[in-house]
A and B are shown apart, each in its own frame.
Chain A
Amino acid sequence: MQHPHPGRARRREAVTFYLLISPWLVGLLTFTLIPIAVSLGISFTRWDMLSPPELVGLRNYARLLDDRLFWQSLTVTARYTLMYVPTELVGGLLLALLMNQVDARGIRLLRTLYYMPSVLSGVAFVVVWMWLFHPEAGLINAGLAQLGVQGPRWLADPHTALTALWMMSLWGLGRTAVIYLAGLRGIPRELYEAAAMDGAGAWRSFVGLTLPLLTPTIFFNLVLSVIATFQTFTSAFVATNGGPLDATLFLVLYLYRKAFQEFQMGYASALAWVLFALILAFTLLVVRSGRWWVYYEGETP
C-alpha cells in the first residue's frame, strides 16, 4: 500500500511507452508486418494486379512442385550457399587476423580499404566486375593470356557463371572481417600473455584460445551469411539476369521475375513464403547446432 493508485500509474507508464515507440511501431506495421500478412493471403490467389484476385487455394504451392525453374533456382541457391558461406567464414577470419595487427603502420588505412566495398553501391561494383570478366576485353582474361592460359567466357558460359558471381562476392569479405575484428578485440590480452608464459606458440594459442573464444562471432557470422546468401539478388540481376541457361537463376531472382516481370503475384507470394520457410528452417538448424560448438565467456565449458 505504498501508492494510492498502483494500477493507474502502471497504465500511464504503459501509455507513455507505446506513445514513445509509436513511430517505429507504425512503420513496422505499415511497411513490414501488414504486407507480410497480406502476401500470405495473396499466395492463395491468382492475381495480375489488373483484375481482382481470384482464390485458388493451395494451387500455387502445388504448381511449385512441377515447376522445373523453381527446382533449378533452388539448386542454384543451394550450390551458391555451399560455395560462398565457407569462404566467407574462413576468408573473413583470415582477413580479420591480418587486420588485427595493432602495431603495423598504415593498418587503419588498410582496414578502411578492406571495408570500403561493403559501402559501395551493389550495382556499381557489379558493373565494374562485368568489365573485369569480359571474355575478350576484360582484365582477368588479359592477365590469364599473359600466362598463356585461354580464359573461360565467365558470365557468358553456364559452367563458369556461378563461379564468377562467387568470385565477385568475395569483394565484400571486409564486412564479415569487421565483425570478426570486434570479436578478436574482445578477447582479453592477459589470456594470451598467460598462454605465452605457459609456452604456447602462435599456432597453439590460436587453436586453443582464439578460436574457442571466437565461436560466438563465428556463429553470428554463419547465421548472417546463410540468411544473406539465400537472398542473393543484385549480382545475378545485373550481371547475368539469371542466365545463361538459368545457371544463375537464384530463388529471389526467380521470385522477382514472377512478380515484377510476369506479374503473377500469387505465385510470387507463394515463392516468397517457401523462401521464408527455408531460411527459417536453416537458421533454426544452425542455431540448434550452436549448443554443440559455441562457447560463451563466463560459462563453464
Chain B
Amino acid sequence: MQRKLMPMSSAVSLIEDGQLLAVGGSALHRNPAVFCHQLAKLNRTRLRLVGVAQGYASDVLCAGNCVDTVYFSFFGFENEFGLAPGFRKGCQEGKIKAVEGSCISIIAALRAGGYGIPFMPVGGMWESELLDVRPDFFQVMTSPFNGEKVVVVRALVPDWAIIHVHEADEYGNARIIGSLFQDQLLTRAARKTIITAERIVDTESFQINPALTTVPHFQVEAVVLAPQGAKPGICFGEYETVEAGCMKAYSRAIKEGALDHFLAITTEGRA
C-alpha cells in the first residue's frame, strides 16, 4: 500500500479542465463541500458533473463557471433551502447542459461504466420527454431475446469520484458511517477516487472488519484530512444541521455575482 495523504491544495490540483467528476453525497448531506470550495478557486473550465441527487458542492462549481454539463436526476437543496442557484443560473443562461435522468438512469449509466459495457437497459421511463431531449444519453432498443422495448442509457466513466467520508487511513481505505447514498457506486465507476475525511485512523481499524470498508485503498489516488469537510451541509453523526447562515450568504453571493468573495471568506485559514 502506498501513502496517499496530501494537503487539500495538492488534491484539488489533480483535477484537469474537461474532466468528468462524480460528486458524492446527496443534496445538503455529506458533500465534499470544502474540496469544491478550493477547486472552484482554481477556475477550471468545461468540467462535467455526475451524481444522482446533487447539491451544494456541485452547485459551487456551477456557480464558479467551471461546469458545462451535468448528469443528474435531482439538483437542489431540499425544502426551505430551495433550488440550487448556481446550477439554475447556469442552465437559464444556456451555459450548462442539463442531462436529466431519473435516479435509476444515472445509477445505470454509472453501473455500465463500472462494468465496462457501453450502455445499460433501465426500467420505467415510458412517456417521459427526458428521452426525447437527450438522444445522446437515452435510446430505446428492442430486446434481442423477446422483442420487448427497453430504454437504454449510455455508460459514464467519471475521471474522478470525489467523496467525503468519516474515516480513512493514509493509504486510502475509507469508511462511511450511516447513509452511503450512491458514494460506493461512484468509486466503483470512476477511474480514480479522491477522499476527504473527517478523521485519519489506523489501518488496523479497517482490518478488524473489512466488510465495513466502503472504499479499498487501490481505488484511491488522494486522501485529505478535512474535518467538517461537508459544511455548510450535514455529515451523518458528526454535525446534523445545515448552517443556514452560510447557505444564505452563498445564495446572496450568487445573486450579487460575489462568489469569489464568498469563497475567500469561507476558505480563510484552511489549507
Is chain B a partner of chain A in the same complex? no
Residues of A near any B CB (own CB < 8 A):
none
